[in-house]
Chains A and B, each alone.
Chain A
Amino acid sequence: MTGSFLKRNPSVPIMLGALLLVTFLVSILSEAAGGGLSTSFVKTLGMTLCLALAALAMDLVWGYAGILSLGNIAFFALGGYMIGMWLMTARTENIVAESLAGSVIPPTPAEIRDAVGGQIFGVVGSSDFPPIWSLSSSLWAQLALVVLVPSLLALVFGWLAFRSRVTGVYLSILTQAMTLALALYLFQNDSGLRGNNGLSGLQNLPGQGDVPQAQVALWFLWGSAVALGLGYVLCAWVVSGKFGAILRGIRDNEARVRFLGYPVEGFKLAVFTLSAAITGIAGALYYPQAGIVNPAEMMPIASIYLAVWVAIGGRGRLYGAVIGAIVVSLVSSFFTSGQLPDLDLGPLRIVWVDWWLVFLGLSFVAVTLFAPRGLGGLVDLWTHRRRPSRHGADLGPDRGSFREEEAEA
C-alpha cells in the first residue's frame, strides 16, 4: 500500500508498452497502410482487446472481491445495445434523408423520423420508435447511457443482493438468473430492441460511408487499445491501495472486515458498479466491430466464457485476466475460423469448429487442477513473486500457520 504507483504496479508500464507496440505494428502492417494484415484480422484483434477489458472488470469483482458475477456479460451486451441504438438511428437517418431529398416536396423532420422508424422496426412489425429510443439521435446521450445503464442495473441489483448477504455460489446463480431474464426479455419483439434480430449493421459508421472498413477497423483497434490501457491503469490504481486491500479482505474474511467497522456491502456495491461501467464501455467498443448485437450474446455460455478467461489467465492479478482473455479468444478464433483442416482418425473425425470447445473445457480442468494461478502464474517464474518453498511444511515456525500449499502467491 506504500510506495509510488509504479512501484506498487510494476505490470502497468509493461502492459502499456506491449499494447503500444502491438497497436503500432498492426497499424503499419494493416491493409489500410498497404500491409498484408487482413481487415478481418485487425477487427479480431480490436475485439480481443475489448474482451480483455471485460475480463479485467471481471477480475476486479471475482479475483479481488470474490464475487463470481455471471452478470457481467449482460453489462457487456447492454453497452453494445446503447451505442448500437445511436449507430442504427443516425445511419438510417442519413439514408432516409438522402432518398427523400429528391422528392418534390421536402420532407418534414416528423416524416423522416417516421420513415426511419419504419426502416428500423419493420422487422418486428412496428414502425414507431419505442420510448427507450427517445435519445437515440444523440451520440452524447447514448455514450452516457453506455456507462449509466449497466452501472444502474448493477447498483440496483447489487444493492438488493448484497444487503440480503447473499454470497458465494448463490450470488453467482442470482446474477446468472438476472442475465438470463434480461436475455429472454430482449428476445421478445415488443421489448423495443428488435427482439432476436438485435441491432445490426453496426460496422457502418454514420456519415463515414466513404471511409473503407480497413480504416474503420484501425480506428476501433486504436480506440480499444486506449480503453484497455486506461482501464488497466484505473484498475491497478483501485486494487493497489487501501480499497484493494479491503476488497481482498472481504474475499478472504468478510467477517473480519465487518468487525473492523467497514461497510462491506458498500464496498461490494462500489466495485460491482465500477466493474459494470467498465464492462459497458468494453461492449460499446466491441459490437461496432462485430457488426451485430442480439440477445443470444447474453446466453449462459457467454458468462461462462468470461469466467473461464479469467480463471485460465489467473485471477487476482490484473495481467492474468488480460492474458487469459487474449490467449483464449485468439486461439478460439483460430480453431473456429475453419482454416484448420479436419483431422481424420479413422472412426473419429475431429472437426475443429466443434471440438474446440471440448479442448477448452479440458484445458480449463487442467488449469484448475495443475496451475491454479493460471497463465499469469508463469510470470512468477521470472519475477520476485515466488512462493515460499518449505517442501509442504508449515511456513511459520509454529503449528497453525500457513502451509505451503495454502499460500496464495
Chain B
Amino acid sequence: MSTLLEVSGVSVSFDGFRAINNLSFRMGAAELRAVIGPNGAGKTTFMDIVTGKTRPDKGTIRWGEKGLSLLGLSEARIAREGVGRKFQKPTVFEDQTVQSNLIVSLKNRRGPFAALFYRPGQGDIARVEALAEKIGLTAHLARKAGELSHGQKQWLEIGMLLAQEPRLLLVDEPAAGMTLEEREKTTDILVEAAKTRAVVVVEHDMEFVRRLNCRVTVLHEGSVLAEGSLDHVTSNPDVIDVYLGR
C-alpha cells in the first residue's frame, strides 16, 4: 500500500504544555482510520498541524508520492494539495443555498480572477446533483443552508469536502449530536468515501467507531498509544488504563 501521509516525530507545545509529543502517523492512499483518545489527547491539534493551522516545533510531514513537505505551507495551499477538513461544529455558508455551498466547493481554479469569470457549466451542475444525491440533500438544493437541521448541515459539510475531491479527508466528530438513524447514514457516507481516498475520523463515540469497522489509532498525551483493530486496542491494558477504564 502506497503511503499518502507520513507524519514523523512531530512535537508542539503551547506555553510549555506539550500538546503533541513525538507523534508519528501513517496513512495509505485509500484507507479509513479512526482516531480516538480522551479529552486533551491532542486529536484536534493533530488535525491543526496536518492542515497547516498550527506549526509544529519539530518533526516532518510528508505528503503524496513525491514526499512534499507540508510544513510552512498555508492552509489554502494544503487544501489545494488535497487535504479536506471537516470541523467539529458544522461549518457551512448559512446565508447561501445548499447548491451555492456545493458549487463554491467544487474543485476548480481557486484564484480571485478565476472566481470572477466562473460560470457553472452543465458538468458542474451535474456534479453538484450527484453529490447532493450522495449526502441525501437533493430535495434541499434551493434552500438556505442555515435552515437545515444539524445533521443535514454535517452532511452538507461532508459533501462540500467531497466536492473538493481531496485525497485525504480529516473529519472531526461527525456524529456528535446526531440521531441513531443519522449516524448510520453518516457511517455509510464515510465508508463509501474511503473506498477511493484516505479518511481520518476523530471520534469519541465507541459505538460509532465500531460501526466504521476500521483500523483505530489511540492517542494519549500527544502520542500514539496503540494502533490496530478496535478489538485489539480495546484489549490493550495501557488503553484500558488511560481511557476506557476510567
Q: Do A and B interact with each other, yes or no?
A: yes
Could you list which residues of chain A lie within 8 angstroms of chain B, going by C-beta atoms? 1-2, 238, 241-243, 245-246, 248-249, 252-253, 255-256, 258-264, 266-267, 269-270, 388, 395-402, 406-408
| B99 & A2 in contact (Cβ 8 Å cutoff) | yes
Partner of A241, one of B77, B119, B150: B119
Known: A259-B84, A266-B112. 16 other contacts (CB 8 A): A2-B120, A241-B119, A249-B96, A252-B94, A256-B91, A259-B85, A261-B80, A261-B164, A263-B76, A267-B112, A270-B113, A398-B150, A400-B90, A400-B150, A400-B153, A402-B146
Provide 5 A-B residue pairs closer than 8 Å at the C-beta atoms, listed in order of the A residue: A242-B103, A253-B91, A255-B91, A266-B112, A395-B146
Partner of A256, one of B92, B95, B113, B149: B92
Q: Mark B64-91, 1 if CB is under 8 A from A, else 0.
A: 0000000000111101100011010011
Contact A401 to B150, CB < 8 A, known contacts A242-B103, A248-B95, A264-B76: yes
Near A by CB (< 8 A), chain B positions 107-127 give 110-113, 115-116, 118-120, 125
| B160 & A260 in contact (Cβ 8 Å cutoff) | yes
| B112 & A263 in contact (Cβ 8 Å cutoff) | yes
B184 on the A face (CB < 8 A): no
Question: Which residues of chain B are within 8 angstroms of A395 by Cβ–Cβ distance?
Answer: 146-147
How far apart are B93's CB and chain A's nearest CB, in angstroms?
5
| B79 & A249 in contact (Cβ 8 Å cutoff) | no
| A263 & B93 in contact (Cβ 8 Å cutoff) | no
Question: Which residues of chain B are within 8 angstroms of A241 by Cβ–Cβ distance?
Answer: 115-116, 118-119
| B148 & A252 in contact (Cβ 8 Å cutoff) | no
Partner of B148, one of A262, A263, A396: A396
| B147 & A407 in contact (Cβ 8 Å cutoff) | yes
| B151 & A398 in contact (Cβ 8 Å cutoff) | yes
Question: Which residues of chain B are within 8 angstroms of A252 by Cβ–Cβ distance?
Answer: 93-95
Partner of A238, one of B103, B116, B153: B116
B51 on the A face (CB < 8 A): yes
Partner of A243, one of B100, B112, B160: B112
In the A-B complex, the 8 residue pairs with the smallest Cβ-Cβ separation, listed nearest first, are: A398-B149, A400-B150, A261-B79, A402-B146, A396-B149, A270-B112, A261-B80, A242-B118
| A396 & B104 in contact (Cβ 8 Å cutoff) | no
How far apart are B150's CB and chain A's nearest CB, in angstroms?
3
Question: Which residues of chain B are within 8 angstroms of A399 by Cβ–Cβ distance?
Answer: 149-150, 177
| B149 & A249 in contact (Cβ 8 Å cutoff) | no
B62 on the A face (CB < 8 A): no
How far apart are A253's CB and chain B's nearest CB, in angstroms?
6
B105 on the A face (CB < 8 A): yes
Partner of B110, one of A2, A248, A261: A261
A189 to B164, CA, bound (A): 56
| B146 & A245 in contact (Cβ 8 Å cutoff) | no
Question: Which residues of chain B are within 8 angstroms of A407 by Cβ–Cβ distance?
Answer: 144, 146-147
Question: Which residues of chain A are within 8 angstroms of B94 by Cβ–Cβ distance?
Answer: 252, 402, 408
How far apart are A12's CB and chain B's nearest CB, in angstroms?
17
Could you list which residues of chain B lie within 8 angstroms of chain A, going by C-beta atoms? 51, 74-77, 79-80, 84-85, 87, 90-96, 99-100, 103-105, 110-113, 115-116, 118-120, 125, 144, 146-153, 160, 164, 177
Question: Which residues of chain B are within 8 angstroms of A388 by Cβ–Cβ distance?
Answer: 147
How far apart are A90's CB and chain B's nearest CB, in angstroms?
37
Identity of the chain A residue whose Cβ is nearest the Cβ of B81 in the assembled complex: A261
Partner of B103, one of A245, A255, A401: A245
A1 to B99, CA, bound (A): 9
Question: Which residues of chain A are within 8 angstroms of B110 by Cβ–Cβ distance?
Answer: 261-263
| B79 & A397 in contact (Cβ 8 Å cutoff) | no
Contact A401 to B112, CB < 8 A, known contacts A248-B96, A253-B91: no
How far apart are B6's CB and chain A's nearest CB, in angstroms?
21
A377 to B114, CA, bound (A): 32
Question: Which residues of chain A are within 8 angstroms of B87 by Cβ–Cβ distance?
Answer: 255-256
How far apart are A59's CB and chain B's nearest CB, in angstroms?
15
Question: Which residues of chain A are within 8 angstroms of B113 by Cβ–Cβ distance?
Answer: 270
| A396 & B115 in contact (Cβ 8 Å cutoff) | no
Contact A2 to B125, CB < 8 A, known contacts A245-B93, A245-B96, A259-B79: yes
A398 to B92, CA, bound (A): 16
| A1 & B100 in contact (Cβ 8 Å cutoff) | yes
A388 to B164, CA, bound (A): 31
| B76 & A258 in contact (Cβ 8 Å cutoff) | yes
Give the most central of A243, A388, A396, A397: most B CB within 10 Å.
A396
| B149 & A397 in contact (Cβ 8 Å cutoff) | yes
A253 to B144, CA, bound (A): 15
Question: Which residues of chain A are within 8 angstroms of B75 by Cβ–Cβ distance?
Answer: 258-259
How far apart are A388's CB and chain B's nearest CB, in angstroms?
7
Contact A400 to B152, CB < 8 A, known contacts A242-B103, A245-B96, A266-B112: no
Question: Which residues of chain B are within 8 angstroms of A256 by Cβ–Cβ distance?
Answer: 87, 91-93
Identity of the chain B residue whose Cβ is nearest the Cβ of A401 in the assembled complex: B149
| B93 & A248 in contact (Cβ 8 Å cutoff) | yes
| A246 & B115 in contact (Cβ 8 Å cutoff) | yes
| B118 & A402 in contact (Cβ 8 Å cutoff) | no
A243 to B100, CA, bound (A): 11
Question: Which residues of chain A are within 8 angstroms of B150 by Cβ–Cβ distance?
Answer: 396, 398-401
Partner of B104, one of A245, A259, A269: A245
A248 to B100, CA, bound (A): 11
How far apart are B113's CB and chain A's nearest CB, in angstroms?
8
Partner of A261, one of B76, B92, B118, B147: B76
Give the most central of A1, A406, A407: most B CB within 10 Å.
A1
Question: Which residues of chain A are within 8 angstroms of B74 by Cβ–Cβ distance?
Answer: 263
Question: Which residues of chain B are within 8 angstroms of A259 by Cβ–Cβ distance?
Answer: 51, 75-76, 79, 84-85
Partner of A401, one of B85, B100, B153, B160: B153
A256 to B104, CA, bound (A): 11
| A263 & B51 in contact (Cβ 8 Å cutoff) | no
| A243 & B115 in contact (Cβ 8 Å cutoff) | yes
| A400 & B177 in contact (Cβ 8 Å cutoff) | yes
Identity of the chain A residue whose Cβ is nearest the Cβ of B89 in the assembled complex: A400
| A267 & B115 in contact (Cβ 8 Å cutoff) | yes
| B95 & A408 in contact (Cβ 8 Å cutoff) | yes
